[in-house]
Structure formats: structure tokens, C-alpha cells
Structure 1
Amino acid sequence: MAKNVLITGVSSGLGAGLAESYLNDGYHVYGLSRRLPPERLRGDRLHHVSVDLNVSGEIPAALHRLLHSVSELEWVYLNAGVLGEIRDLVEAPLEELKHTMNVNLWANKVLIDALLRSDISIQTIIGISSGAAVNGNRGWSGYSLSKAALNMLMMLYAREQSDVRFYALAPGLIDTAMQDYMSTVPDENRFTSVRRLRSARNTDDMPHPLEAAGRIRACLGELLRLESGSFADVRHLQG
């Protein structure tokens, strides 16, 4: 039987890294993202539907188009997300915060609900979280709020759904386009975490997406030993 994985945000960053890693191991990868995945990933085992996860009403139909012939998913990675601007919460417009919450939180609720209402057998759903969900670093405003809420979302579903395992997983630092943005944040004295991120780039502490995906997959056995609904950081799991 074919091995299947669903990944959101497969067009770039960690999502593309996860897709490549699973494709290399013979999986069928089912991906949702606004943009097409990189050309190097396209082939018979990559199945993709474009959708804007900020438009929640379009998600169920897109998911149905993508998974209409699928009966089982071994893994689901709720990876798609947006950062928003690094700035103090008092300076963050409410509309920006709503957008961040829509993509990072509510889109995942819609996706989970659609999956649970389907006839697809699902083993494990992993919400890609962040250390920002728990560390409260200055400047991360809507991103921190949305990832903290995502952690609770996964915990609540775990309490309700005993047949599916749910986890929130912080993947650690990853060298993605987000790091390009970090180099443009002007006030690193005010936002000290930005300085730490800049210094980690081009070191082993900030792998590229494919390597980061490998580190995540190496830790999955340890993750599954945790209680369903748990939050974990890949840097604290033994791969």
C-alpha cells in the first residue's frame, strides 16, 4: 500500500523540505499551498492543489479535490504559516494580527475539521509550531500569539479525538526566506532575538529546509512516545 503524507505550505521553506524528504523515501505527497511547489519536486507522486489558506471558505473544497482518492494518511503536517512584521504589539495593526491568526490558526482548524469529517484514516497530525509560542520574545507579536494558540488547538483536539494523534512541534531554526526578512529588521537592539537569529545563519544551528526535515523525521519516534496533544521542540528530542 502506498504511503501518504499531507503537507501544507509545500511551495517553499520547511514544507518543500518535508515534501522532498518524503518523496525521496517513496511516499505520495499531497500538498496545499498558494504557489506551485519547486519544479524539482514535481512528478507522479507529488499531488498539489493551490489554495489561499487565508480564505477559509475555499479550504474544504480544495482539500476534497486533493484527497478524493486517498483512504489513509500516515502523517499530516500543518506547516503553512506567515510571520507578520517584527514590531511591538502596541504597533501591530489589528488587521495584520487577524491575518496572521487566520493563516496560522484558523486555517488549521478548518483543515482538521474537514479531515476528521472525511472517511480518510489518519494516524498523526503535527502542527508546526515555534519556540516563539512559549518564549515571549519582544517583537514577535501576532506570530507568537498564533503559535501559542496552535499549541492549545492541538491539545484540545487530542482530548476530543482518541483515534488520531496530535502534536505541536517547534522545528528549530531553519534557513528560509524568513531569515532574509530578519536581515532587514532595523532595530536589533530592541529586538534581541533578531540578533541571535542573524548570528546563527550559515551555522549548523540553522540548517537548510531539507536537512531540517530530516532532523524532524529522525525525532518522530520520540515524539510519538509523548502524550497526544503535547508540544515539543525538535532540539529537545533525541533523533
Structure 2
Amino acid sequence: MTETVLITGCSSGIGRETAHAFLEDGWEVYATARNPADVEALGEAGANIATLDVTDEDDVERVVERMIDEEGRVDCLVNNAGYAQLGPVEDVPVESVEDQFAVNVYGPHRLVREVLPHMRERQTGTIVNVSSVAGRLATPGMGVYSGSKFAMEGITDSLRPEVADHGIDVVLVEPGPVDTAFTERANDELQGVERSDGYDTLYSILDDSEAIGGGGPGSVSPREVAETILDAANLSDPADRYPVGQVAKVTLLARFIPAKLRDKFFGLLFSLVAKNPLGE
């Protein structure tokens, strides 16, 4: 019997490549996005497509109920939808923080709650939460985004042993920089921040897309992340975490450096950038 997967955030990048990877592997794919036009090509490739805004409970219920009606089960959920709100913590308005958590934390939680009863009934299933290296190590200018990913990591670490006795696997995939339109969206969100005059050097770093990873040195292709997600879904005993890319693997080691030393490093970086601004 063909296995089924529900994937969020399939309009581009990791989500789109993940849908293609599962299709090529013979899965019955339900590819979703906020705008149905963004997933029409996936429909032509053989996926079942649906409109799904992860912040809308009615959308979530409708799509999961459709899968149950049509397929009888959800074998895998891939929580991929998300974006990055950049900016110094002081400058990011509370409303933007709430929006960030609504998509990156409450959305995945809403989907998990919707699929778990069906997975528990069948005593099998896999939930893959796409996190980030920023969910293990916070850096200046990414506090709000990291906060959302730290929250998702904590929820996932609690969920994993909670559902283990029901035959359900819960996995975190933690990419480093990925060559997608993700950085463009992050830059758009950053432009909406009213900038105070206390963080000029930090803004000069954040305004440089390569400096924050998008398409820069060390970035990986969305296909590499997609294949990692597929591998985790196919394994009978997946690992709890999968960092993707060398930058992710090296950066995670920095967690073991004392915080004061990391802070001194960032201070040195800021002083160097202030003397030699990026792009000059």
C-alpha cells in the first residue's frame, strides 16, 4: 500500500523539492501552500494539492480530513512552512514576534495535534519538523527567528518520547544556510522594521544576504535538505536530529563554547565590520 505524506510550505525551495523527492520515491503526496497557484506545477507532477495556511485552524482540519477520507491515513507529516523575522530584538515590534511564532511554532503544533490521533490509532507514523541551525545556536539579529526555532526544538524533544510507545517517530531536520528564496523573504521582513540608531553595524550585516547565508559560501541546495527529510521518513528507526550541510555541523559545535566567548567573538566581528563595512 502506498504511503502518504502531508507537506506544508511547498510554494518554493525546500517544500517544493521535498514534494518532488517523495513523488519520485512513490509516495502519495499532499503538497500544500497558502496560495494554490504556487503548487499547480506539483499537481501536474502528480501531487495532490491543497490550500493550507498553517495559521488557519479550519484549513488544517480540512486538509487532514481530506487525506483521511481519500487515503485512510497520514503516514508522514512534514512541517516545513516558515519564515525568518530578522532584526535586533529591541526593534522588532511585538506584532511581528507574534506573527513569527504563529507560523513557525503554533502552525506546526496545530498540524501535529490534528494528525496524531490518526497516527496513534494506527500505531505508526513519522513527524518531521524542519528547524534550523538557528534553533540550536542564536546569533545577533536573529533573536526572534531563533526564539521560534528554539521553541520548536523544545516542543519536538518533548513530543518524541511522548509518542514513542505509539510507534510514532519524531524528527528534527536542521539545515544551515540553504540556497532558496527564504533569504529574500527574510530581507522583506527586515525592511518592515523601524530601525533605531543603535544597531547600524548589525544592520549592515543583516542587509547583506550572503552574510546571513542565502546563496553564500557553505549554503546547500534545497534538494539536499529534501533528501534528508525523505531518508528520515523512510527509516524504521530515524535519528532524533539531522543537521544538513557542513556549516550546520560546524556551527552546532559552537554551542559548546562558553557564551561569554561567543559574545566576545560577535563583539570583535562588529568592530571589524564597523571599520570595514560589508560591500565596500
Same-fold call, TM cutoff 0.5? yes
Give the distance between the partners of 2:123 and 2:45, measured in 1 at CA. 22
1:233 maps to what in 2? 243
Aligned-partner SS, 2:103: helix
Contact residue 188 and residue 194 of structure 1 kept, 8 A: no
Write the distance in 2 (CA, Å) between the matches of 1:23 and 1:88. Answer: 40
Given the superposition, is the C-alpha separation of residues 122 and 75 from structure 1 closer, same or farther in structure 2, using an over 3 Å criterion?
same
TM-score (norm 2): 0.71
Q: Secondary structure at the match of 1:135?
A: coil
Task: Give RMSD over aligned pairs.
Answer: 3.1
Larger mean Cα displacement after TM superposition, 194-203 or 165-174: 194-203
Preserved CA contact (<8 Å) 2:83 2:104:
yes
* Alignment correspondent of 1:171: 175
Q: Percent identity?
A: 22
- Counterpart of 1:117? 117
Q: Relative to 1, partners in 2 of residues 1:215 and 1:171: Cα closer, same or farther, differing over 3 Å?
A: same
1:54 and 1:166 map into 2 onto residues whose CA distance is 21
- SS for the counterpart of 2:81 is coil
Show the 5 A alignment for 1:67-82: 67-82=68-83
Cα deviations by residue, 1:81-136 (Å, 9 ceiling, x for unpaired)? 1212x210111111111111111111111111111123566421110000111211
1:136–1:165 CA distance, 2 compared to 1 (3 A): same
User: 1:13-33, CA deviations, whole angstroms, 9 ceiling, x for partnerless residues?
Assistant: 200010011112222111232
Question: How many residue pairs align between the two structures?
Answer: 233
Structure 1 length-normalised TM = 0.82
SS of alignment partner, residue 145 of structure 1 = helix
Please say if 1:155 is aligned against 2:142: no
Cα pair 1:73 1:120 within 8 Å, conserved:
no
Q: Deviations over 1:115-163 (max 9, x none)?
A: 1123566421110000111211111122111111101111111121122
- Of residues 47-56 and 63-72 in structure 1, the stretch that sits farther from structure 2 once superposed is 63-72
Aligned match of 2:271? none
Residue 47 of structure 1 corresponds to: 48
> What is the Cα deviation at residue 224 of structure 1?
4.0
**How far off is 1:203 after superposition?**
6.2
* Letter aligned with residue 71 of structure 1: G
Counterpart residue number, 2:106: 106
Aligned match of 1:213: 226
Task: Output the CA distance in 2 between the equivalents of 1:120 and 1:197.
Answer: 45
Residue 28 of structure 1: aligned partner: 28
- Could you say if the C-alpha distance between residues 35 and 93 of structure 1 is closer, same or farther in structure 2, counting changes exceeding 3 Å? same
1:143 pairs with one of 129, 142, 145: 145
Highest CA radius of gyration, 1 or 2? 2
The whole-number CA distance in structure 2 between the counterparts of 1:64 and 1:110 is: 14
How much has 1:202 moved relative to structure 2?
4.8
Aligned equivalents of 1:166, 1:200: Cα separation in 2: 27
Letter in 1 for 2:125: Q
Cα gap change, 1:223 to 1:190, in 2 (>3 Å): farther
Q: Please, which moves more after superposition, 158-167 or 145-154?
A: 158-167
* 3-state SS, counterpart of residue 31 of structure 1: strand
The one-character-per-residue Cα deviations of 1:35-90 (angstroms, maximum 9, x if unpaired) are: 22444322374112212212235422332124422234443211001212x21011
Moved more, 112-121 or 155-164: 112-121
